[in-house]
A and B are shown apart, each in its own frame.
Chain A
């Protein structure tokens, strides 16, 4: 190991002559080796925890979502075509199709995001900060599988530059980076990320002749077909196969908005919705796997259980009120079924708990989470334009988190002032 260390130290680029290369080197070097810095003032020993470790545990927590999400891309594609309807049938096809869709999204999101991060770090002369490790892993999970890569790249550029670097980098941003990327796509290219049809199911193309959706493959599929053929497995084929009759590609929320819970259960069973074998953004469909990630984050003490719990309470509270009102079919969907639909759990586990954009006080976290739960459900149920509310609710509350903190901290200040005036 010492030899390796010496070799790596020997190739270190000069900081003055090539700041970008040096920053890059420093980023990868500190990734491979924990630095040899020692305490100078204050405490002499420090906790083993650092930001890299914090961030990587969030990434670990979403690995199950990655596994399932990748496979589900393929699964939804073939279900739409009426092929391999059972979950594990056509395993190699579903998995490879999922990877063909997911990997480019992941690579583009990280190359673009980290590229900007590195460039800013070099320009400002500080070490590369770890914030984008999590953002870069989250962004692919909250996008539809078919999202054009250039749109994704634009979204990441917007989120990282306007959302983060403009405010001063990791730890300074007001809005959640991953959600900013999504909201950019949502408002700039709405047809790519909302509605029915081919949005949530990948590799489908509208066919003018048939008047319906047909499957459409690219060169990676042909390459794999050649491979699969060689070892005698089933293949993708040339595409052009029409979807099954009655295919809508709609998400449960879209259906519930029109026909209530009964209409949803006609299309998807509750266990399908629970386990996540339904169309949707890549990583947000499987509730148990997200909950495992959430519990992991709570167990290791990285995500705030206060925010998670109060979000659940906020959803129940609003759900009950809406049930009582019951003016539309969507309002009449029993409050507990709202947990089955949409991306509530994903938002709860990975988005709302971002420590930088959430409330920083423990009391504030209760209020913050509760309001996200309440507002998110209001947007989901009452607003016909936005099918899902968590993204907007969290961004909205991101803007209000400093205000909540202000009042919580002010209460502490007032308490202290009152004590003084009492004593005087």
Chain B
């Protein structure tokens, strides 16, 4: 950190010197004002030259000794986070690198889940929703008929385009219904759960087995269906070996569950899952850890072995895996990486430890419209009915599987999404507000300083009102404030809208999926559908191959 000190001191000295020069001259004659100005400019210029040369030398040296590969910054000019990051703890390489993300926004909502698991609440129906898996054909091949009995881990359906990947039942019970949407699209495969869970018995290979063997086991046991592939957030392709695998162990989204709390009791399974994942990639398994230091981190995460750890400190979306990838090892054109959420790692771990598909999920039931916001222990795809029934303060609410930024609207009897471990209940905002744009009576979350934030409570309620109408892009620089990535979201969106593939590639469409840019949609003054536009672009890219 010596170079920071040198730079700080020299900056201060040069400012003092230049101000002295200004004061020393009498300001009346033009020639003296010229010489003053010129001296300042010369000083700045020389300073810039020295810095540039030193910078270049340092980079060259770093390349020579190979230090540029380890990810440390090798420049004379400290990055902002180094310059202001006095609070950055220094850690050894094993403990993990520390990243401070300056951009972002924590939507200050009330309705955080109280940290206790309500054992009384149990869902009785569960569903797999093919629509959750992006890129899947709308009518997957069902392997069981309505009314049949299934065990947890029995195959329910598979995608005809990728028949190797089996999608299995999260619980045992009777196949209650196959709910179809328009054009016979399969929306939900609903299972009525047994009181006593029956697991299909698997025989897991040992981790010394060939990669092929482990892959095949994961494919048939349903563990594979939990993996997602970047770019584009599609189902992981079994024919690929990913460059790396990324896991975020904390969720910064509004009212998101505390994953360190959710993983309690499954620490061994989580570690086993990490070991399994490590056999699938040619690179590393990267673990993104909470660097904010506000809540305790589970030892399952902080003491995980065989992984590369990175700490991230910052507002949302610091906990989003796409942002973490960008700061660890960004995705390029031909790269393929996989991501998986922390609880699913434990599910994969259990497959190898106990030979059963244990889709246990600790789910946060959150939102301001709930009487009690708390955690429940259930299984993937649970019906939210028992969690929200008699638990809402009024009827005019929206149920969301997931968080308010990326979640899906569901009915009060709807089911959790495959990758979701949160339910949010918020008020519908279909009301007119007199001069609402000018004098907002009720507090509302906003990144804009035009609102009297000092009058607002620290956390507030929010409803689904759009607070304005859709307009053309007008304001600039707004998305950048909430996107901690070296990317130009607005230009990317515009290139999607005009179908400019080359530019979409260049501007980094490989690096982002909806959740990475969800905050852009939240803050957008013009109320543009950022996530829908981005998905449109991603779909076009997939179609183009």
Contact = CB atoms under 8 A, between A and B. Distances in A.
B527 to A, nearest CB: 7
Contact of B449 (A36, A170, A299): A299
A207 interface: no
Interface residues of B, number: 85
B488 A54 contact: no
Q: Which of A45, A405, A420 has the largest count of B CB atoms less than 10 A from its CB?
A: A45
A412 B507 contact: yes
Contacts of B464: 38-39, 44-45
A212 interface: no
Given A47-B447, A48-B444, A171-B471, A316 B37 contact: yes
Given A355-B476, A419-B332, A45 B468 contact: no
A420 B333 contact: yes
Interface string A115-148: 0000000000001011100000000000000000
Given A32-B434, A43-B521, A46-B467, A360 B529 contact: no
A122 to B, nearest CB: 16
Contact of A35 (B432, B471, B514): B432
Nearest to A408: B488
A129 B471 contact: yes
A175 to B, nearest CB: 15
Interface in A375-424: 405, 409, 412-413, 415-417, 419-420, 423-424
A5 interface: yes
Interface string A10-41: 00000000000000000000101111111101
B525 A49 contact: yes
Nearest to B486: A412
A45 B472 contact: no
Contacts of A1: 434
Q: Which of B27, B29, B407, B434 has the largest count of A CB atoms less than 10 A from its CB?
A: B434
B438 A50 contact: no
A129 B474 CA distance: 11
B508 interface: yes
Contacts of A208: none
B132 interface: no
B446 A44 contact: no
B80 to A, nearest CB: 13
A169 interface: yes
A41 B467 contact: no
B200 interface: no
A420 B400 CA distance: 38
Given A37-B466, A38-B465, A300-B448, A53 B438 contact: yes
Interface string A295-337: 0000111101000000000001101100110100000111110
B71 to A, nearest CB: 13
Nearest to B492: A409
A325 to B, nearest CB: 9
A130 B474 CA distance: 11
A38 B472 contact: no
B405 interface: yes
Q: Which of B429, B465, B469 has the largest count of A CB atoms less than 10 A from its CB?
A: B469
Nearest to A299: B449
Interface in B152-198: none
B34 A360 contact: no
A48 B33 contact: no
Contacts of B84: none
A48 B471 contact: no
Given A30-B469, A45-B463, A409 B491 contact: yes
Contacts of A301: 447-450
Contacts of B486: 412, 415
A229 interface: no
A310 to B, nearest CB: 14
A258 interface: no
Given A39-B464, A43-B521, A44-B426, A169 B472 contact: yes
Contacts of B269: none
A355 B445 CA distance: 23
Interface string B472-504: 111111001000001110110000000000010
B542 to A, nearest CB: 19
B38 A320 contact: yes
Nearest to B435: A32
Nearest to B254: A45
A56 interface: yes
B118 interface: no
A52 B450 CA distance: 12
Contacts of A129: 471-472
Nearest to A356: B474
A207 to B, nearest CB: 40
A336 B477 contact: no
A317 B506 CA distance: 35
A358 interface: yes
A50 B529 contact: no
A159 to B, nearest CB: 17
B133 to A, nearest CB: 18
Contacts of A261: 30
A35 B466 CA distance: 8
B31 interface: yes
B476 A50 contact: no
Given A302-B450, A334-B33, A409-B488, A46 B527 contact: yes
A83 to B, nearest CB: 35
Contacts of B454: none
A360 B532 CA distance: 22
A416 B518 contact: no
Q: Which of A47, A319, A413 has the largest count of B CB atoms less than 10 A from its CB?
A: A47
Nearest to B482: A47
A341 B104 CA distance: 41
A365 interface: yes
Q: Which of A33, A34, A46, A172 has the largest count of B CB atoms less than 10 A from its CB?
A: A46
Contact of B506 (A5, A300, A302, A413): A413
Given A34-B433, A41-B532, A362-B480, A48 B37 contact: no
Q: Which of A37, A172, A336 has the largest count of B CB atoms less than 10 A from its CB?
A: A37
A358 B507 contact: no
Contacts of B330: 419
A63 interface: no
Nearest to A5: B432
Given A52-B468, A412-B487, A41 B531 contact: yes
A287 to B, nearest CB: 18
A43 B404 contact: yes
B433 A33 contact: yes
Contacts of B434: 1, 32-34
Contacts of B529: 41-42
Given A47-B445, A53-B450, A56-B438, A42 B532 contact: yes
A166 B184 CA distance: 46
B445 A336 contact: no
A361 interface: yes
B437 A53 contact: yes
Given A5-B432, A49-B523, A300 B488 contact: no
Interface string B327-357: 0001011110000000000000000000000
A33 B477 contact: no
Given A324-B34, A335-B33, 13 more contacts: A42-B530, A47-B447, A50-B467, A53-B450, A129-B472, A169-B472, A170-B471, A323-B34, A356-B474, A360-B491, A361-B476, A409-B491, A416-B506
Interface of A: 1, 5, 30, 32-39, 41-54, 56-57, 127, 129-131, 168-172, 261, 299-302, 304, 316-317, 319-320, 323-324, 326, 332-336, 355-356, 358-362, 365, 405, 409, 412-413, 415-417, 419-420, 423-424
| 8 shortest interchain CB distances as A-B pairs | A50-B468, A34-B436, A171-B472, A320-B37, A413-B506, A420-B332, A323-B34, A48-B444
19 contacts: A35-B466, A42-B532, A44-B409, A45-B426, A45-B463, A46-B466, A46-B527, A47-B447, A49-B448, A52-B437, A53-B438, A131-B474, A304-B477, A323-B33, A336-B33, A358-B476, A360-B477, A413-B503, A417-B506
